[in-house]
Structure 1
Amino acid sequence: MITDPVHRSDVLRHVARRATFGRSLGLLRSFPQEQSDPDVFYSGLARDTVELVGDLWEGAGGKTGAGGGGRAVGAVGAGAGGGGRLQGLTVLDVGGGPGYFSEAYAAEGARYVSVEPDVGEMAAAGITQAGSVRGSGMALPIRSDSVDVCISSNVAEHVPEPWTMAEEMCRVTRPGGVVVVSYTLWYGPFGGHEMGLTHYLGGDRARRMYERKHGHRPKNYYGESLFEVGCAEGLEWARSTRSADLLAAFPRYHPRWAWWLVRVPGVREALVSNLVLVLRAR
């Protein structure tokens, strides 16, 4: 087991090249548009996510078309057309939402399947997507060892048992495949989502403050669809699971020079913002 996942240069070398201040600034500017202009927010995030997956697949030593997962779930997946770094691979997106990611993965040649528990969320953007399956991330309706890459992007903070979901992600990924768990930390500046920084006053209080100000419930309702999840617990799960080997951990939206924050207890909970755990399934 590795002791310093931040500095696994063989896994992160591709990601590091893109982890610039300009990229971080661009993503930061798009975050406030999640509710007001979801097309702008999610389209940009989809492109960045697919690039991230391609980088991690190459960094982990994956080979295009190496897996057999496409045969297991390919019947429901979005087609693997064209070329790209993920050509022929089956990618399972846990909590894929309203379909913004499908075209971005297809452009890289992947067979794309998403699992989403909320029918309303699946149809929110009015996007027709053939590869969506309704189901819970904590009990994935997918055959074991059937996908090459399994990713959850900003999902773990929305389920009551995030590490049950992470174990399920490892289960459905073939041995040698890549599992990517990326999630927002509660004590980071975006932990409260649309509730803003009021989450530092406590989740229940932040929820009540939002309701008084806006006259309706927040989309991400603390205690029901938004939970406190930290950096240390994610690292602890990733280092202790018997289902996969931890390859790397780093802050998703930070420039490369700030990746060291993951190694500092306490500080990382507030300043990492979004943690990425990269594992190779056993």
Structure 2
Amino acid sequence: MLPETRRLATLRRSFSLLRALRHEQSRPDLFYRPLAEDTASLLDALRADLAGLPLAGASVLDVGGGPGYFADAFAARGAHYVPVEPDVGEMAAAGITVPGSVRGDGRALPFRGGAFDVVYSSNVAEHVADPWAMGDEMLRVTRPGGLTVLSYTVWLGPFGGHETGVWEHYLGGGFARDRYAHRHGHPPKNVFGESLFDVSCAEGLHWARQVEGASLVAAFPRYHPAWAWWLVRVPVLREFLVSNLVVVLRR
């Protein structure tokens, strides 16, 4: 199952993305550009595996598109790419202009139902107080037969605390936030309880399995090699080792 998607999921890719992660705060271009290329490749492979179609010619909605690094990667594959982002400052942060970009809330998307062939969100759900309301909206604007792809950071994984550290969040989100502020003299970009929340792997799988009007067709760890995808099937263990969960639904 998913031969093209599995072909991309190599150990070399995992190490490459992990190396890029260290630049997220200091040189975001060195982090987001490789991530954008990887995301476009992933969606291209998923569409080939699940719909028998390339990404070229598809309408793609990026929920939480951020400062625009992803636009070029999708344009290179011939997709019609539309990002939606609630924060104007985030949209302008990198000085990148994306024609057709939209300001809007992922929980109330400003589009008609069934407007897009592929709707995806990468590393956004953990920043939303009610991520499953956003997931429902993503499904609403996906056309019948289209794909909804939700990828997010799992709280109990090593990166759940984001820039606040790799162990501090295990003692509580508030502790991690306050320790970061004490050490750096300012609060973190991702403030626990305000712009960062403890979203579990089990919650995402439960939502994807019971949501009406769509079927769960794949679930796997975003940054793991394919031989480690089995981790998603093991309760408790997956919360600590999956790191980032991808759920794929067909509308």
Q: Mark yes or no: TM-score above 0.5.
A: yes
Whether 1:91 aligns to 2:81 is no
What is the aligned partner in structure 1 of residue 139 from structure 2? 170
Report deviation, 1:128: 1.0
Whether 1:246 aligns to 2:216 is yes
- Asked if structure 2 preserves the Cα contact closer than 8 Å seen for 1:203 and 1:222, the reply is yes
Q: Which string of whole-angstrom CA distances, capped at 9 and with x for unpartnered residues, describes residues 212-259 of structure 1?
A: 001111111111110000111100000000121100000010011111
What 5-or-longer segments of structure 2 have no aligned partner?
none
Report deviation, 1:131: 2.1
Aligned equivalent of 2:26, options 36, 40, 60: 36
Aligned mates of 1:131, 1:274 — CA distance in 2: 29
Whether 1:20 aligns to 2:14 is no
Moved more, 13-22 or 180-189: 13-22
Aligned equivalent of 2:120, options 141, 151, 172: 151
Aligned mates of 2:93, 2:100 — CA distance in 1: 16
What is the aligned partner in structure 2 of residue 199 from structure 1? 169
User: Where in structure 2 are the equivalents of 1:63-212 lying within 5 Å?
Assistant: 63=53, 85-197=54-166, 198-212=168-182
Question: SS at 1:33's partner residue?
Answer: coil
What 5-or-longer segments of structure 1 have no aligned partner?
1-8, 64-84
Aligned mates of 1:203, 1:252 — CA distance in 2: 23
Whether 1:224 aligns to 2:214 is no
- Asked if structure 2 preserves the Cα contact closer than 8 Å seen for 1:150 and 1:179, the reply is yes
- Give the share of equivalent positions with the same residue, in percent: 64
Report deviation, 1:86: 1.6
Aligned mates of 1:15, 1:28 — CA distance in 2: 19
Aligned mates of 1:32, 1:225 — CA distance in 2: 21
For these two proteins, the number of residue pairs brought into alignment is: 250
Counterpart code for 1:178: L
Aligned equivalent of 2:35, options 45, 68, 75: 45
Aligned mates of 1:115, 1:243 — CA distance in 2: 23
Q: Which string of whole-angstrom CA distances, capped at 9 and with x for unpartnered residues, describes residues 86-132 of structure 1?
A: 22211000000000000110111011101100000000000011121
Query: Following TM superposition, where does structure 1 have runs of at least 4 consecutive aligned residues deviating by more than 2 angstroms?
Result: none
Question: SS at 2:144's partner residue?
Answer: strand
What is the aligned partner in structure 2 of residue 71 from structure 1? none
Whether 1:57 aligns to 2:47 is yes
Q: Which string of whole-angstrom CA distances, capped at 9 and with x for unpartnered residues, describes residues 132-185 of structure 1?
A: 111110111111110000000001000000000000000000000000000000
- Asked if structure 2 preserves the Cα contact closer than 8 Å seen for 1:167 and 1:243, the reply is no
What is the aligned partner in structure 2 of residue 273 from structure 1? 243
